[in-house]
Amino acid sequence: MAGKKSQKVTIDDKEYDPDKLSDAAKAQVVNMQVVVQEIASLQQKLAIAQTARNAYATALKEELAEED
């Protein structure tokens, strides 16, 4: 059975073997991964909020058109 190949970490166009990083560097990699996931989550939430805002604006325009 073949061993699991580690995914390389690329920083400033230079690849690093995660197994050879210090514990402090590994912790920073994990921190960055968490932040990247959080940014993606926030972007998704922003897209949802913008869609809702657009729907509310459309509904408001329809209400105002009926009042004219």
Residue from 50, 40, 38, 21 nearest 11 by CA: 21
Q: Where are the domains of the chain?
A: 22-67
Total-model pTM: 0.74
Reported as a single tens digit per residue, the pLDDT across 35-64 is 999 999 999 999 999 999 999 999 999 999
Q: In this structure, what token pair is assigned to residue 46?
A: 């922003």
Opening angle at CA 10, ends 21 and 18, nearest 5: 25
Reported as a single tens digit per residue, the pLDDT across 11-26 is 999 999 999 999 999 9
How far apart, in whole angstroms, are the C-alpha atoms of residue 22 and residue 24? 5
